[in-house]
Chains A and B, each alone.
Chain A
Amino acid sequence: MKRILISQNETNNSEDYVVVDGELIQDKDLALQYYRKLKATDNWKQDFKDDFFELKSNNKDVLIKSHYLDEDNINRSIYYMYYVEGNDDFNEILKYLEIDSQKIDRNIDKEKTLEIINKIKTNKNIKSIFYKLILILAAASLVYSLFKFIKQ
C-alpha cells in the first residue's frame, strides 16, 4: 500500500511537505515525481465534496483532500492531499493519515472526518440497496413478461 501525503508549509515559504510511506521527502525532484502521481487523480470519479472534505476514488485507490486543524502563519487552515494506493478501508486509511501527519506535526479533525466518511459509506449502502432493488424489479418484470408470453 503506497501512501503519499502532500501539505503546505506553515510559513508560506513556497516549500511543500511530501511524506511518502511515513518518510518526509527532502529531495525536491523526487517530491515532484510523487506530486505527478497525484495529478493522475484529476480524472478520477468524485465520490464526495463539500467545503471541508473531498474524496475521489479509482478501484481500490483513494484520494482525500481536506484541511488540518492547524493554521499557517496568516491564520489559514492548512491543506493536505492524501493518496492511498490499493486500500479503500477507511479505518486503516485514517489510522495511517494520522501517523503520516504526525511526521509534519499536523492534526486532522478526526471526528468531523469520520462523520463524513460514515455518511459516504451510508450513501454508498443506500445506493447499493437501491441498485439491487432495481435489479430485482427488472428481473421480476422480465419473469412476469416471460410467464405471460408463455401462457398466451
Chain B
Amino acid sequence: MISNFINLPLFIPIVLWGLGAVATATVTYFGGRALFKKKARTKLGVLGMQAAGKTRFLSYLRNIPFVEKETSKEEYKPFTYKYEKKIIRIDTGFDIGGGNIFKDEYISIIRKSDIIFYFFDISKYLNNKAVAENINYNRECNSRFELIYSETTKIKTPVIFIGTHTDLCPKDINTTRKEFLNLIKDKSYYSSLKNLVTINLTNKNEITNFIDKIFTI
C-alpha cells in the first residue's frame, strides 16, 4: 500500500506523457485537429479534381457499388459507416464533379462541413510527359489548394489532402511524396499538405486502412 503511494507521483506523469504522445501523433497525421467531433451526424465535404476518386471514396463509405461515370452534382442521403464497434453517422451531402464550374460550390460546402477531403491525381501532377496538359492540371490543382487552405484555415475546419493513383507513379511512395512537396515548398498551403495522404484507391486494403485510420480518431 505504502509502495503504491510512493510510485503514484511517478506513474501519473508517465501515463499522461504516453497519452499525450499518442494523441499528438494521430492528430498531427491529419493536420492538427480532431476529425470527428461527438455529434449526431458528421457532414463531409468531398472535393477534388476530375477523375481523382471522390465518387469511388464515397461509394466505399456508403457501401454501394462504384460505377465508372462522371459525376455532375448528386445529393446523397444520410448514411452510417460501421467500423468495428464504432458507428459513424454521416449527414446528407453532395457528390460534385471535378470540373471548374463546380468550384463555385467549394466555399459553401467548406462552410457547411465538419471535415474536408480533397482528392487529386498525384501521378498526373508529377507527370512530366504531357507538359502543357500537366501545367494546366497543376495550376488548377494549386488554385484549389490555395482556396481550400485559406477557407479551412479561416474557420478551422480539418482538411485531408489525398494524392491518388499512386499505382501510376513510377517511383516509390516516399520519393513521390518528396517530389510533390518539393514542387509546392514555397506555397502558402505547404503546411497543410505536409500531411498529404497518398493512396491507390483501387486497392481495397489501402482504402480500408485509410478509412479505418480516419475513423479511429
A interface with B by C-beta (< 8 Å) = 6, 8-9, 12-16, 18, 28, 31-32, 35-36, 39, 42, 51, 54, 65, 67, 72, 74-81
Contact = CB atoms under 8 A, between A and B. Distances in A.
A151 B72 CA distance: 64
Which has the most chain B C-beta neighbours within 10 Å: A12, A18, A35, A72? A12
B98 A6 contact: no
A72 B72 CA distance: 14
Interface in B126-172: 133, 136-137, 140
Given A14-B50, A75-B68, 17 more contacts: A6-B72, A6-B101, A8-B99, A14-B49, A14-B137, A16-B97, A28-B100, A32-B104, A36-B104, A54-B74, A65-B72, A67-B69, A67-B70, A72-B51, A79-B71, A80-B72, A81-B73
25 contacts: A6-B72, A8-B72, A8-B99, A9-B99, A12-B51, A13-B133, A13-B136, A14-B100, A14-B137, A15-B99, A31-B101, A32-B101, A32-B104, A51-B67, A54-B74, A65-B72, A67-B69, A67-B70, A72-B70, A76-B51, A77-B70, A78-B70, A79-B70, A80-B72, A81-B72
B97 A79 contact: yes
Nearest to B139: A14
A104 B68 CA distance: 21
A135 to B, nearest CB: 32
Interface string B47-75: 00111000000000000000111111111
A81 B69 CA distance: 14
Nearest to B65: A51
Q: Which 9 A-B pairs have the closest CB atoms?
A: A16-B99, A77-B69, A79-B72, A12-B50, A16-B101, A14-B100, A79-B70, A35-B101, A76-B70
B92 to A, nearest CB: 11
Contacts of A15: 99-100
A31 B101 CA distance: 8
A123 B51 CA distance: 36
Contact of B70 (A8, A39, A54): A8
Contacts of B101: 6, 16, 18, 31-32, 35
Given A35-B104, A51-B67, A74-B51, A14 B99 contact: yes
A31 B99 CA distance: 13
A79 B102 CA distance: 13
Nearest to A46: B75
A77 B68 contact: yes
Interface in B95-136: 97-101, 104-105, 133, 136
Contacts of B98: 12, 14
B106 to A, nearest CB: 13
Interface string B79-107: 00000000000000000011111001100
